[in-house]
Structure 1
Amino acid sequence: MRKESYRDRALVVRTYDFGEADRIIVLLTRGNGVKRGVAKGVRRSKSRFGSRLQLFVDVDVQLYPGRNLESITGADTVAYFGSGIIDDYGRYTAACAALESAERLAGTAHDGDPWLFDHLAETLARMQTTEHPTVVLDAFLLQAMAHAGWAPSLFDCAQCQAPGPHHAFHPAVGGAACVRCRPPGSAEVPEEALHLMWLLAHAHWPAALEAVESGEGQHLSAVAHRMTRAHLQWHLEQKVTSLGVMDQT
């Protein structure tokens, strides 16, 4: 049966060289999940669309199905999010972490669900101008985990549902834990940090930014980031390399 080419919106989440002139492009598509395609000849200076197949680009892409890889036969730029990101190290590392996390999270989603694509595009647009890139990243991760069905409990105890606020957090039990349910190795977390995570998870941006810019905001956002990262990697059962690079700075 002859396969037909198709078009979809896509965000470039990863690229790597292949052969002498080709490049493998990993795409988060809006309607078909993650697709890996080969763009032939794009490393040559006369490539028709090589410059469009870069990180932080939203493209209208044409794909032809293959046995192991799709063939990318066309790409038109819809939006470019690199401005404001690629020249700022904090935004760049946070945006790269969002791209890699989205690729991993897409493995838990159903093809045809446009939510992750739309959410990532919105996050990259916000990342272009934010003064708090880590906070924007954490909001993306918390909302994406909620969409995947494994959001952390941030007020009631994740085990027994005892009303909070609580001061312990462990991803193995699902987030916040009361004094009776907290497992060994739980992190001691200020309730204000869990509240910040709740604000980010529900996209309450004015209140979240007010908390981040308060006197204790830097400490609270650092704790919230550690808990968000721990919960993500526990449920993915693998490390997100870009998060490690980002947190070394």
Structure 2
Amino acid sequence: MKFNEKAIVLRGFNYADNDRIIRLLTENKGKSSAIAKGARKEKSKLREAIEIITYSNFQLNSGRNMYTISQAEIICPFFGIKNSLEGLMTATLLCELADEFMEEGNPDRESNDLLLRVLYMMNDRQSGWGELELYFEVHMHILNGIFPDFYQCVNCGSTDSGNSVKLDLDNGGVLCSKCSLDRKKAQVYPMKALFILDAASKKSMEEILSESWEVDSLLAARKIIAQFSSYYLGKELKSRKLFEQTIISTE
């Protein structure tokens, strides 16, 4: 069966001599795998449309294990993102997060729309990468029903945590100073980071981008949600490791 589907290219890898297998986040069929035969040939018409972080309209043929791409037309190449190293690495992280959080063949229009909105905002503004990455990751947690409890201590229920907290990954939240006394080696995070996470969960992208958060507090908020993502997924993301080594280490 042949049909058309709009999709974001999340990742891809080479296959055989000239083929490429790509992971798509489609509009109607969720995360799907597809093969682009001959796409690595210099004159292939599919070559640019199947690049990672590209939004394209694909003509797909149903196969036994995956779709076959017969035609593709670029809708948005997101050059505003790809022209910046930080933008490219941030968007790559978002695509890997979407790929890991979503199940293959399970339609998820909300996650598709979320990724598209964030990518278009990144492409138009070409700034605010950290805020938008945080917004996306927080909302992926919300859509999957796993957003941590940052409003009270998960052990005693206290809402008075002082100026800092420690994480309790097993129970999906934070511990107050009293309940975390036996975790002397655990990382301490400022309450300001929790306020940022709360804002990211409730405000619009436009409102988030208008905030003037301290760099250290924003970085702490991103580290917190990253730890919960790694715990939930059972792995650290390759793109995040590279991002932290290349971008965050220089901030």
Q: Shorter-chain-normalised TM-score: which range?
A: 0.7 to 0.9
Q: Secondary structure, in 3 states, of the residue corresponding to 1:111?
A: coil
Between 120-129 and 229-238, report the one with greater CA deviation: 120-129
Task: Please report the TM-score for the alignment, with normalisation by the length of structure 1.
Answer: 0.87
2:249 matched residue in structure 1? none
- The 1:132/1:164 distance shift into structure 2, 3 A limit, reads farther
Identity percentage over the alignment?
Answer: 22
C-alpha displacement of 1:104: 0.3
1:116 matched residue in structure 2? 111
Q: Secondary structure, in 3 states, of the residue corresponding to 2:120?
A: helix
Q: 1:247, 1:200 → 2: CA distance?
A: 21
1:15-164, aligned counterparts within 5 Å? 15-81=12-78, 83-107=79-103, 111-128=106-123, 129-164=125-160
- The 1:152/1:73 distance shift into structure 2, 3 A limit, reads same
Q: 2:108, 2:65 → 1: CA distance?
A: 23
Q: Secondary structure, in 3 states, of the residue corresponding to 1:77?
A: strand
Q: 1:224, 1:17 → 2: CA distance?
A: 36
- 8 Å CA contact 2:161–2:177 kept in 1: the answer is no
Task: Give structure 1 stretches of 5+ with no counterpart.
Answer: none
* 1:223 lines up with 2:225 in the alignment: no
Q: Secondary structure, in 3 states, of the residue corresponding to 2:219?
A: helix
Amino acid at match of 2:238: T
Residues 103-154 of structure 1, C-alpha deviation per residue, up to 9 Å, x if partnerless?
00112x8812211111111111122224221221111000111110100122
- The 1:37/1:161 distance shift into structure 2, 3 A limit, reads same
Q: Secondary structure, in 3 states, of the residue corresponding to 1:140?
A: helix
Give the root-mean-square deviation of aligned CA atoms.
Answer: 2.2
- The 1:45/1:223 distance shift into structure 2, 3 A limit, reads same
Residues 81-107 of structure 1, C-alpha deviation per residue, up to 9 Å, x if partnerless?
2x2211211111111100111100112
C-alpha displacement of 1:59: 1.5
- 8 Å CA contact 2:57–2:75 kept in 1: the answer is yes
Residues 43-63 of structure 1, C-alpha deviation per residue, up to 9 Å, x if partnerless?
223323322111221122122
Task: Please report the TM-score for the alignment, with normalisation by the length of structure 2.
Answer: 0.87
- The 1:89/1:63 distance shift into structure 2, 3 A limit, reads same
Q: Which runs of 4+ in 1 moved over 6 A?
A: none
Q: How many residues align?
A: 241
Q: 1:239, 1:181 → 2: CA distance?
A: 27
2:189 matched residue in structure 1? 189
C-alpha displacement of 1:218: 0.8
Task: Give structure 2 stretches of 5+ with no counterpart.
Answer: 247-251
Q: 1:169, 1:210 → 2: CA distance?
A: 28
- Equivalent of 1:175 in 163, 173, 176: 173
- The 1:208/1:139 distance shift into structure 2, 3 A limit, reads same
Q: Secondary structure, in 3 states, of the residue corresponding to 2:82?
A: coil
- 8 Å CA contact 1:168–1:189 kept in 2: the answer is yes
Q: 1:116, 1:194 → 2: CA distance?
A: 24
Between 172-181 and 140-149, report the one with greater CA deviation: 172-181
C-alpha displacement of 1:181: 4.0
Q: Secondary structure, in 3 states, of the residue corresponding to 1:156?
A: strand
- 8 Å CA contact 1:26–1:37 kept in 2: the answer is yes
